[in-house]
Amino acid sequence: MWSTDTILVAAAALGASWLRMGIALVISALFSLAVGIAGGTSRKAEKIIVPVLDILQSIPILGFFPLALYGFYSISPVIGAEIASIFLIFTSQAWNMTFAVYESTRVIGLDLLESARSMRLGYLDRLRYIYIPASLPRLLQNLQPSWSNGIFFLVGSEILTFGSIDVNLFGLGSVVAQFVETGDTFGITVTLSMLVAASIATNFFVFLPLAGLSGTRRGKETHLARTTFPAVFERASKILTSGFGLKHVVRLEHPNIELQRAIAGITKKVSLPWSLLRGLIFFSLLAIFSTAVISRGGDILNVMTNLYHAFLRLGPINIAEATVYSLIRVGISLAISIGWSIPLALLIFRTSTASAAVTTAMQVASSIPVTILYPVISAWLPAVVEVKAILMILMATQWYVFFQVLGSLRNIPQDELEIVDIYRLRFVDKLRYLYFWRLLPALITGCVVAAGGAWNALVVAERIVIGNIREEVPTPGLGKLLSVYVERGDLPVVVIILLVMSSVVVGLNRGLWKRLYDLVVLRLKAEDGGGHGAG
Amino acid sequence: MAEGTALDDVKSRRISEAILTAREIYHRYKTKKGGEIEVIHNISLDIRYGEFLGIVGSSGSGKTTLLKILAGLIKPTSGVVYYKNKPLDGPTPAISLVFQNPALFPWLTVLDNVMLALKSFDRLSKEEMIERCRSYLDMVGLSGFELAYPNELSGGMKQRAVLARALVTNPDILLMDEPFSNVDPLTAVSLRREVDLMRLSETIPPSSVVLVSHNVEEIVELSDRVIVLTSRPARIAAELDIPLPRPRDKRSPEFYDFVDKIFTLMS
Ligand SMILES: Nc1ncnc2c1ncn2[C@@H]1O[C@H](COP(=O)(O)OP(=O)(O)O)[C@@H](O)[C@H]1O
Ligand SMILES: [Mg+2]
């Protein structure tokens, strides 16, 4: 039924959610500048900041929601929920931006720093004239990926149950859930249309112009500080008028790519066992600390016993089983992502307009929050929850495999393409002698990113709780386990599951992906030989 | 006596006949800003049987573009290229191109890199292919390096491998794009000498060679005939024969007359 009230409610919900996202993004940007610049310009700070970020980025964000919620809630139940929600969005946005700033400031030329010293610039002046301008281009490019990542977890941070604490903040997630509950088709349609429109508009009018402003040419970077809003708008309208940005497509990267890039550089110096050990120590300390906070003091021994009992309550076999099932789900999603990404990328990469059109379409698609859409699309999806779970994971991750593969193919040097053309190689031979080798490293990076995202998405995908909708896969899974115990409010068990999940993620990153990557790069070493040897 | 005349006849007819012909070639590239730049303006030229044609022009004048058009790799904006009087509509094994950068795939061995050129030859068995590649690698002085990877080779050796790859298809025409500009001067001297010698050998194809370069001395050293291009857009500024005996003495006054003349024509 048509109703102005419904439209107003939907608009208000959109505004509330967007405001939360916006505040979190601003905080993330400020955090990334503060921490990133500290890490990039001070050796001492770097030694602490980088390993900590490395661990934080591998944590399944959704899993830590209850801990944060509990913390903020216990400070103040009134505004605590609101702060917790913004904080949780922040945790899904901040890391890639921080790594971008860190990397940008770390590579500032020595001559520039020395001339700054000779001019006796104070720290504030250096910030203003050197560090911030140097960081801005990549920071701006990372705003959109951060936003997309945040929006996936938006619902999870607005609606949450942890034991007796029930948070249901006014926003997109809660409003859609309510409309679904009351069967208000008009409400659902209006809210979702607004959401999709807002997602697209935000992309076109805010993030694409901002990312485009950063330019790719070095010379431009210094002018960024002077960028004004009219300039942003002009750029936006230019993008729109030129056929929905087909000519001006800016390649946006997924947040985890920044992370992986930075981590790859750092972990080169750290061995696998040490890295795992460090992760384990960190997680254990975190677990003990948070359990201690929540059990309001008590002695350490008590806390340890609690955790041990939680472990027993779960049972090692249950944990192992859940891990294996989750691994399989992640593996299947990866296989599907790879399965369509490579053929499609191969099909379009030699045509610029096709590449740009497909990329733009997918950027928009990937920024539409599937978690919010879920109550609606759930009805159209196959009835098998197991299949739905895989689809959820795919929606959260598959794009990045595709973006990476397409990017790598588009970056094949012209010379190499001309060689396979002039010798009239058949498609299979082109694939075997050229394309395969060029896309392999990017494929692995894409898989790392997608797998990381998949582990996060598991928490939502294996057990979906939105409003009255409650669906879970019949088989075990770490995400399902986590979701169940979060709802029960069983903190020690939650901590144990998080510990397992984080260890699996870190272990896979170091033990599988990084090794594969090194293996491939070794084979390709010929041409990045110089850089590799120096690193 | 009569026999000799007949033979001379055949020779001179062959020399004067064109194997590759370009007619009224124009080429424009689209620029990133949406505009266009004209790179080649109305070029018509003939490549004759058995000749060594030098094409000289300053950097950025459009030499590489012209060569890629002659190879069938780029379709010109307008104009036609004929190979043996038939329009050329794409790359053919009869025309080989040596690229400006010694582009070898780093993940393939030298032998596999050379074998790529034979991939579209269905009638050859794998053994025959390997045999043929080996003999060409041998010819360019790379025997023993078949299983090495390109990054284990020096710049000069890479260029030799590229030459082997270009020759292994038995092309009628070899197009070379500044093949000596990316190797050190000493290696360049010996590579030029080898290319010059290769031309004298009866058994080795190709029948005709086109060398593109901005290096006037190198063009004078190797060419029978030289086409001088203007700067962008490239047009033909002049054409001249170089009837000096080979091997050519770079310090002779005649040699320098030609170098001077071409420099004047270029500017
Ligand atoms: N694919 C391309 N797109 C746009 N411009 C090009 C392209 N290739 C070459 N150009 C431009 O065409 C001009 C001639 O290039 P090229 O043929 O490589 O010259 P040369 O080989 O004589 O140095 C140069 O100004 C170059 O920048
Ligand atoms: Mg060139």
Q: How far is CA A284 from CA A16, A290, A300, A498, B158, in A?
A: 36, 10, 12, 10, 55
Instruction: Tell which residue, A228, A314, A264, A223, has the closest CA to residue A441.
Output: A264
- Cβ pair A108, A117 in contact under 8 A: no
Least confident of A63-67, A191-195, A386-390, A405-409: A63-67
Residues A91-110 as b or e (16 or more Cβ within 10 Å = b)? bbbbbbbbbbbbbbbbebee
A40 and A32 Cβ atoms separated by less than 8 Å:
no
Q: Which of B34, B108, B116 sits opposite A423 (nearest CB)?
A: B116
Instruction: Scan residues 149-208 of B and list those with Cβ closer than 8 Å to A.
Output: 149-151, 169
pLDDT at B5: 47
Give yes or no: residues B86 and B153 share one domain.
no
Structure-model confidence comparison of residues B6 and B209, the more confident one = B209
Q: Do A526 and B68 touch (CB under 8 A)?
A: no
- CATH number for A387: 1.10.3720.10
Q: Which range is least confidently modeled, A12-16, A40-44, A160-164, A323-327? A: A160-164
Together in a domain, B183 and B84: yes
Task: Using alpha carbons only, give the angle A102, A107, A110 rounded to the nearest 5 degrees.
Answer: 130
- Does B77 lie in the same domain as B11? yes
Residue range A70-87: mean pLDDT, rounded = 80
Pair A378, A388: CB distance under 8 Å: yes
Question: What is the pLDDT at residue B211?
Answer: 93
| Nearest CB neighbour to B91, from listed A421, A433, A527 | A421
Q: What is the pLDDT of residues A416-462, one digit of tens each?
A: 899 998 888 999 999 999 999 888 877 887 787 778 778 878 888 88
Query: Which pLDDT band, with edges at 50, 70 and 90, does A474 fall under?
Result: confident
Quickly count: other Cβ atoms within 10 Å of residue A346's Cβ.
17
Which pLDDT belongs to residue A467?
A: 62
Q: What number of CA atoms fall less than 13 Å from residue A421's CA on the CB side?
A: 18
Q: What is the mean pLDDT of residues A158-175?
A: 79
**C-alpha closest to that of B204 among B141, B116, B139:** B139
Q: Which of A362, A371, A398 is nearest to A192 (CA)?
A: A371
Which strands sit side by side in the sheet containing B78-83, from one edge to the other?
Answer: B36-48, B18-30, B78-83, B86-87
Does B103 sit within 8 Å of A419, measured CB to CB? yes
H or E element in which residue B266 lies: helix B253-266
- Bridge-based pairing of strands A159-162 and A165-168 is antiparallel
Evaluate whether residue B200 is within a structural domain. Answer: no
Q: What is the DSSP string of B55-70?
A: EE--TTSSHHHHHHHH
CA B179–ligand 2 middle distance (angstroms): 10
Q: State the Cα–Cα distance between residues A416 and B29, nearest whole angstrom.
A: 20
- Report, in angstroms and rounded to the nearest whole number, the Rg of chain A calculated over CA atoms: 24
* pLDDT band per the 50, 70, 90 thresholds, residue A415: confident
What is the mean pLDDT of the segment spanning A398-413? 82
Q: Among B26, B58, B65, which is best to mutate for testing ligand 1, by the most ligand atoms less than 8 A from CB? A: B65
Residue type, A172: L
State residue A232's pLDDT score.
46
Query: Within a domain: residue B202?
Result: no
Nearest to A13 by CA among A279, A351, A369, A346: A369
Distance in Å, CA A483 to ligand 1 centroid: 59
Nearest atom in ligand 1 to B65's CA: 17
**Are B33 and B60 within one domain?**
yes
Asked if A10 and A194 count as a contact pair (C-beta separation under 8 A), the reply is yes
The pLDDT score that the predictor gives to residue A35 is 92
What average pLDDT does the structure give for chain B? 85
Do B65 and B121 lie in a common domain? no
Please tell me the predicted confidence (pLDDT) of residue A233.
46
Tokens coding A489: 């409010």
Task: Determine the Cα–Cα distance for residues A499 and A493; give it in Å rounded to an integer.
Answer: 10
Determine which helix (DSSP H) or strand (DSSP E) holds A243, and give its type and residue range.
Answer: none
Beta bridge partners of B177: B212
Ramachandran assignment for B175, one of left (phi > 0), alpha (psi -120 to 50 degrees), beta (any other): beta
Q: Name the range with the highest mean pLDDT among A73-82, A439-448, B83-92.
A: B83-92
User: Any bridge partners for residue B87, and if so which?
Assistant: B82
Rounded Cα distance between A227 and B248, Å, is 62
The number of the ligand 1 atom at minimal distance from the alpha carbon of B63 is 22
For chain B, the distance separating the N- and C-terminal CA atoms, rounded to the nearest angstrom, is: 48
Which tops the pLDDT comparison, A68 or A500? A500
B245 and B185 share one domain: yes
- Tell me the pLDDT of chain A averaged across its residues: 75
Instruction: Answer whether residue B189 shows pLDDT above 50.
Output: yes
Name the domain count of chain A.
1
Average pLDDT over residues A159-172: 78
Q: Are A132 and A348 in contact (CB under 8 A)?
A: no
- DSSP symbols for A430-492: HIIIIIHHHHHHHHHHHHHHHHHHHHHHHHHHSEEEETTEEEE-SS--HHHHHHHHHHHT-HH
Residue B197 CB contacts under 8 Å (≥ 6 apart), including other chains: none
Give Cα separations from A532 to A104, A522, B109 (angstroms): 19, 9, 20
- Work out the pLDDT band at B14, boundaries 50, 70, 90: very low
pLDDT at A264: 53
Across A468-485, b (16+ Cβ under 10 Å) vs e yields eeeebbebbbbbbbbbbb
Dihedral sign from CA coordinates of A474, A478, A479, A484: positive
A168-217: per-residue pLDDT in tens?
Answer: 888 888 888 788 778 788 888 888 888 888 887 887 788 777 766 654 43
Cα distances (Å, whole numbers) of residue A226 to A129, A134, A136, A206:
11, 13, 12, 17
Report the gap between the CA of B151 and the closest CA in chain A (Å).
5
Which tokens belong to A461?
A: 């995908």
**What per-residue confidence (pLDDT) applies to A41?**
82
Longest dimension (CA), chain A: 75
Q: Are residues B64 and B111 in the same domain?
A: no
**Residue A297 clears pLDDT 60, i.e. is over it:** no
CB contact under 8 Å between A527 and B151, yes or no, is: yes
Q: What pLDDT shows up at residue A290?
A: 67
Question: Are B106 and B140 contained in the same domain?
Answer: yes
Encoded amino acid at B52, one letter: F
As a whole number of angstroms, the distance between CA A418 and CA A60 comes to 44
Residues B149 and B185 in one domain: no
Express each pLDDT in A100-149 by its tens digit: 788 778 777 666 777 777 777 778 888 877 888 888 877 887 787 788 77
Q: How confident is the model at residue A321 (pLDDT cuts 50, 70, 90)?
A: very high
Nearest-atom number in ligand 1 for the CA of B177 is: 21
Nearest to B106 among A418, A422, A527 (CB): A527
Decide whether any atom of ligand 1 lies within 6 Å of the B57 Cβ: yes
The model's pLDDT over B197-246, given as tens digits with 9 standing for 90+, comes to 777 666 666 678 999 998 888 899 889 899 999 888 988 888 898 888 87
- Domain coverage including residue A419: 4-531
Rounded Cα distance between A37 and A107, Å, is 11
> Which amino acid type is present at position A25?
L
Whose Cα sits closest to atom 1 in ligand 1?
Answer: B29
Average pLDDT score over residue span A310-318: 86
Question: Region A260-288: what's the mean pLDDT?
Answer: 60
Q: Tell me, what's the pLDDT at A122?
A: 78
pLDDT tens column, B16-65: 588 899 999 999 998 877 788 999 999 999 998 888 899 998 888 899 99
- Give the C-alpha separation, A285 to A407, whole Å: 40
Whether residue B10 is found in the same domain as residue B68: yes
Domain assignment of residue B83, yes or no: yes
Cα–Cα dist A469/A446, whole Å: 32
Q: Which residues of A touch B108 (CB under 8 A)?
A: 433
B27 lines ligand 1 (CB under 6 A): no
In the predicted structure, residue A248 carries a pLDDT above the cut 70: no
Residues B106 and B159 in one domain: yes
Residues of chain B contacting A422 with CB distance shorter than 8 Å:
71, 73, 91, 96-97
Q: What is the pLDDT of residue A266?
A: 47
ipTM: 0.82
Averaged over A68-82, what is the pLDDT?
77
- pTM attached to this predicted model: 0.75
- B72 neighbors B92 (Cβ within 8 angstroms): yes
Residue range B98-143, pLDDT digits in tens: 888 878 888 889 999 999 988 888 788 888 889 989 988 988 888 8
Domain of B221: which CATH number?
A: 3.40.50.300
Cβ of B73 under 8 Å from any chain A Cβ?
A: yes
B62 within ligand 1 shell (Cβ under 6 A)? yes
Of the listed ranges A219-228, A307-316, A435-444, B68-77, the least confidently predicted one is A219-228
Alpha-carbon distance of B46 to B263, in angstroms, equals 23
For chain A, give the number of residues. 535
* Domain coverage including residue B125: 101-170
Q: List the one residue out of A126, A111, A105 whose CA is nearest residue A32.
A: A105
CA distance A424 to chain B (A): 6
Provide the 10 A C-beta neighbour count for residue A384: 11
Question: Cα dist. B88→A421, B62, B92 in Å?
Answer: 15, 20, 8
Task: Out of A87-101, A222-236, B4-18, pick the least confident.
Answer: A222-236
Task: Please state, in angstroms and rounded to a whole number, the distance separating the CA atoms of residues A257 and A529.
Answer: 22
- Which residue minimizes the CA distance to atom 21 of ligand 1? B64
Q: Does residue B125 share a domain with residue B71?
A: no
Query: Which of B92, B116, B118 has the highest number of chain A CBs within 10 A, making it the mutation to test binding with A?
Result: B116
Between B251 and A514, where is the model more confident? B251
Hey, are the CB atoms on A424 and B120 less than 8 Å from each other? yes
Nearest to B105 among A416, A421, A426 (CB): A416
Count up the domains in chain B and report the number.
2
